[in-house]
Structure 1
Amino acid sequence: MTKQQQTSTVTGTGVAATAVTALALLLLSACGTESGSGSGADARSVSGTDDTSLTETLRNAKGLNGVKGTVWDIDSVTVDGKKTTPVDGARMRVDPDGTFRSSPDCNLRTAGEVTVKGDTLDVGDDQGMSTLMQCPDEERPFADAFDKVFSGKLTARTEAVPGRSGATRDAEDAEDAEDAKTDTKRVTLTAPGGDEIVLTRQTPQPLVGTVWTVDEVVDSVIEHGDTEGSLPAGTEGKASLTLRKGADGAGGTVEGSDGCNTFRGPVKISEATNKITFGPLRTTRKACPKPEMALQERFEKVLKGEIEYELSHNRLKLLAGNGLGMGAGPAA
């Protein structure tokens, strides 16, 4: 299925809720049509003026590893004493502005207003929005249990647990790797009747030092819209890149593989403007099969001059001025 970015703008507060397809490729994704319920659904969560520790734990507005917001694994849901776990992974994302998005199944739910005060999280009566895909039957029990518990007033208990990080680093990035080992958070949400949702926060991947495995191509030229698609058949898992900053912090390098040939060259990274400037890349010149050649050509068109990047927790998107780009995730 062609992966395609969808955006729904919620009226009332002017907050935009964005759902990006392909759950396996993006942090929280789904495809289908979004529909809102309730009056004035605004998709805004974690409201209130008090900057409590729970609020910061959920929103991560200050940022970690250069990434703001949080992504949580939905580890389990317990209803009437019966514990249920997800079939193929489930996620909840809380944006820095407090928007909650959850995927207990193949659909993406964007919550209405959620208020945090002290150690209490009030989901409220607004059902928010959801995509409308027909999910596999085996996903339904967990999703139904989650939807039942994630409503009304919930008491949150927070504890520290070992960090979850998928980044791969070389010895020269030992300091960054050590930072990634710091404890993360686990939050248990408990309903008045004792039902529970257990969430564990994923450690966001830093732009620099992470081995990014390219797993999708992007074409955002006007006539095609903003679309994302699969790599050429047979090239999956073969292409990657790693960015490093120089000793002075101003310059840096990039190295990796385009799926057939390896490359290395200078870069300048501006995290303030989300721009990367690529200098001339030195590459090997090995002859490649046609699919690998197609991916290599994509690398040559994207990793050239100044380009934009988007870093979203454990997803990196590179987009050149010509509208071509690539998406990547941390190496397994």
Structure 2
Amino acid sequence: MHTQRTAVAALALFTLAACGTDKGSASSTPAEPDVPLTGTGWTVDSVSAGGTVRKAPAGAGIAFEKGRVSGSSGCNHFSAPATVKDDTLTVGAATSTLIGCPKNLQWYETALHKTLTGKLAVRLSGGKLTLRTGKGDSVTLTRKPAEQPAPLTGTAWKVDALVDGASISTLPRGTAGTAHLTFGKDGSVRGNLGCNRVSGMAKVTDGTVTFGRLTTTRMMCKAPAMTLERKLLTVLHGPVRYGIEHRVLTLTAADGTGIRATA
């Protein structure tokens, strides 16, 4: 398991206000002012870096929420803060999962991370968002139709990361995609902890899930799976805070440890 320290590109702001015009051309069409980004998802179309245009893979996208941006390169997930002034976005440090990606995805992800860093010129026009570096490299995105967050109950949540305060860690090697939870409308919770199946009851109130006694099967698995299971059971105990941003669920215990899962 690797705690993320790598700075990746990210964006965060509630509204891009008064983006202005593209200063590179007197005939440029003015960008749309006061376009709200909070709660808006963006699909990454392509990345242009070093003279090469790389089409984004399926699933690559960004969502703006509460002064941060979270997203996926199509392989790894990332999250970070940023600041905007006039038509310039300055990207701050970020956290990212470190899943080993196939070569074709890794080439795209590397280009995306190198491009979305430092100061970026922002242009919004016709539902398209363009972020451009001083060297002329750019990322183009398309605004997604408005969508409601995934509901807590009835959704199969796949655990994809562990949280410890502001740090995000990948799952133990070999356990990706094994742990999942589903909350029932009847107050039940069922799923898998990466090794054993789990079931029990969980009371959902405003912003809190209070787990009752959970029962599990008794299989013995290899060390990475058992490590993940122990960490999950530590979080899934008593009252924990929950939050949903689009299709991402976070469960956080009182000590700041938690898990992140995707619908």
**Equivalent runs, 1:31-46 vs 2, <5 Å:** 31-32=6-7, 43=13, 45-46=15-16
**Equivalent runs, 1:305-316 vs 2, <5 Å:** 305-316=238-249
TM-score by length of 1: 0.52
State the shift of 1:266 in Å. 1.2
State the shift of 1:242 in Å. 0.7
1:264 maps to a residue whose letter is: S
Question: Which runs of no fewer than 5 residues in structure 2 stay unpaired?
Answer: 19-31, 96-105, 131-139
| 8 A Cα contact 1:45 1:100, kept in partner | no
Closer/same/farther in 2, CA of residues 297 and 189 from structure 1, 3 Å limit: closer
Secondary structure of 2:254's partner? coil
| 8 A Cα contact 1:75 1:199, kept in partner | no
Distance 1:104 1:291 in 2: 25
Q: Which residue of 1 aligns with 2:55?
A: 85
| 8 A Cα contact 2:15 2:37, kept in partner | no
Q: Does 1:238 find its partner at 2:200?
A: no
TM-score by length of 2: 0.63
| 8 A Cα contact 2:41 2:64, kept in partner | yes
Closer/same/farther in 2, CA of residues 304 and 47 from structure 1, 3 Å limit: same
Report the identity percentage: 30
Distance 2:237 2:81 in 1: 37
Correspondence for 1:255 among 186, 190, 194: 190
Distance 2:238 2:70 in 1: 35
Secondary structure of 2:172's partner? coil
What do residues 111-156 of structure 1 show as CA deviations (whole Å, max 9, x unaligned)?
A: 514xxxxxxxxxx3334334499xx8765499869x999635x432
Distance 1:148 1:85 in 2: 22
What do residues 256-296 of structure 1 show as CA deviations (whole Å, max 9, x unaligned)?
A: 011121111111112x3x11011112222223222222222
Question: Which runs of no fewer than 5 residues in structure 1 stay unpaired?
Answer: 5-20, 22-30, 35-41, 49-53, 61-68, 114-123, 157-186, 191-195, 221-225, 247-251
Correspondence for 1:112 among 75, 84, 94: 84
Q: Does 1:216 find its partner at 2:158?
A: no
Distance 2:94 2:211 in 1: 41
Distance 1:288 1:144 in 2: 41
Q: How many residues align?
A: 224
State the shift of 1:91 in Å. 3.0
Closer/same/farther in 2, CA of residues 112 and 219 from structure 1, 3 Å limit: closer
Q: Which residue of 2 aligns with 1:317?
A: 250
CA RMSD of aligned residues (A): 4.6
1:262 maps to a residue whose letter is: R
Correspondence for 1:125 among 66, 70, 87: 87
**Equivalent runs, 1:68-217 vs 2, <5 Å:** 69-76=39-46, 85-86=55-56, 90-95=60-65, 110=82, 112-113=84-85, 124-131=86-93, 140=111, 151=122, 154-156=124-126, 187-188=127-128, 198-201=142-145, 203=147, 204-217=149-162
State the shift of 1:84 in Å. 5.9
